[in-house]
Amino acid sequence: MFGRNQESWLIVGLGNPGKEYERTRHNCGFRAIDLLAESLDCKIDKGKFQGLYGQTTYKGTKLFLLKPQTLMNASGRSVLQMSAYYNIPPARIIVLFDDISLEPGRLRVRGDGSAGGHNGIKSVIRELGSQDFPRVKIGVGAKPHPEQDLADWVLSGFTAAEQKAVDAALKPAGEAALCIIEQGVPKAANQFNGFKA
């Protein structure tokens, strides 16, 4: 079925497990990957590697979809375990996650880079020992007040208008990941970085 080889890709959605976190800003990665799984008719229901994952094929490419269940700040543990087991290098690991530097509903594709203050990405970089992995950032809006605690902000919910914009961006975020696989980061960035819900 699915061998441990270099041909596989891993798409990771970052978030926090648990009902209380479902609709928070920090869980856009989970929600985007759920929609992607649905579009690919792939069930994310296998428990291993400190996460929940599913496996499918997309246009002949072996694809794994992963939702780490470690809590956000330790997401990299799950990513490392799964990528090591299936021998998937960082260049074939795509991470979907929330970004407070983008307004709600905007997308940004990047081929590599620093964590930009995102604890989930910090964990992935630390565990993989590399920041050279593609990512799709989903805008969730900046803190309204500079003195507001960042953790409180990312674990808060959306206003109705923000929710509408973010909801409209979640499916395209998954499509951007597939575009990276098919056409590469530059073309995916060119197509999706101007996206605004």
- 79, 133 contact by CB (below 8 A): no
- How much of the chain exceeds pLDDT 90, in percent? 77
pLDDT single digits (tens) 9-37: 999 999 999 998 888 989 999 999 999 99
Domains in the chain: boundaries:
9-192
Active site residue 26: yes
Tell whether the model's pLDDT for residue 194 goes beyond 90.
no
86, 105, 173: which is closest to 134 by C-alpha? 173
Alpha-carbon dihedral sign for residues 181, 187, 191, 195: positive
The model's pTM is 0.94
Q: Give the pLDDT score at 151.
A: 78
DSSP per residue, 171-195: HHHHHHHHHHHHH-HHHHHHHHTT-
Check 11, 16, 25, 26 and give the catalytic one.
26
- Domain at 9-192: CATH architecture: 3-Layer(aba) Sandwich (3.40)
Tell whether the model's pLDDT for residue 4 goes beyond 70.
no
Report strand pairing: 46-48 vs 51-58.
Answer: antiparallel
- 25, 154 contact by CB (below 8 A): yes
Q: Cα–chain-centroid distance for residue 147?
A: 27
